[in-house]
Amino acid sequence: MAKKKVSTNVDKVAKTRKKPIEKKMDEQITIEVINTSDNPLPEYQTLESVGMDVRAASGLTILQGQTKVVLTGIYMDIPNGFEVQVRSRSGLAVKGIQVANGVGSIDSDYRGECNVILYNSSREVFKIGKGDRVAQFVLSRKPRLVWKQVDNLSETARGTGGFGSTGIK
C-alpha cells in the first residue's frame, strides 16, 4: 500500500505565496573534534534539526531509577563565546530516559571527553548498544551576564506570581 503524502503547514503556505519559500543557509561554526570511537561524528538527522545526535561509544545497561555516564569518544575545541548543550532525545525521553541534569553544558574551555549523563525514570531496564543515538549536542552562543544591583525592579502584570500562578487552562 502506498504511503499517503502528509501535507504540512509549510506546504500550504508555500502554495499561497507568490514567491517560493527559500531555505536560507544557517550560519556555520567550525569546531575541531577528536573522535576516539568507531561511530560517525555527531550529525543532524534532518535539514532543520537543531541538535546533532551523538552516539554511545560502548553498550551499557541502565536499571530503573539509575543514572549512568554514557561514553561518547568525542572531544571538542569549542570556540570562545559558545557552549555545546547536551539535551535529551525526545524519542528516549518519552520512554523515561533523559539527560540527568536537564540540559548539560560543555564549556568552551573543557577539553575532556564529552560524555552524556542519562537517568532512567522508567519502570524498565534500558539497554544502550554501541552506536545507539543517546542525546543531542546543540551549539549555543553564551553571552556573559553582568549583574547590576538595584533597590527595585520594574513593575509587571505578573509581579511576583510564580509556581503555577498563571493556571493550567
Name the pTM for this structure: 0.78
Residue 6 has what pLDDT? Answer: 47
For residue 98, give the amino acid letter. Q
Number of neighbouring beta carbons within 10 Å of residue 133: 18
For 82-132, how does the pLDDT look when each residue is reduced to its tens digit (9 = 90+)? 999 999 999 999 999 999 999 999 999 999 999 999 999 999 999 999 999
Residue 25 has what pLDDT? Answer: 66
Residue 105 has what pLDDT? Answer: 96
For 29-55, how does the pLDDT look when each residue is reduced to its tens digit (9 = 90+)? 999 999 999 999 999 999 889 999 999
CB 74 within 8 A of CB 133: no
For 140-163, how does the pLDDT look when each residue is reduced to its tens digit (9 = 90+)? 999 999 999 999 999 998 888 888
For residue 142, give the amino acid letter. K
The three grid cell numbers given for residue 85, joined into one nine-digit string = 548543550
The three grid cell numbers given for residue 45, joined into one nine-digit string = 538527522
Domains, the chain, in order of start with CATH, read 28-141 (2.70.40.10)
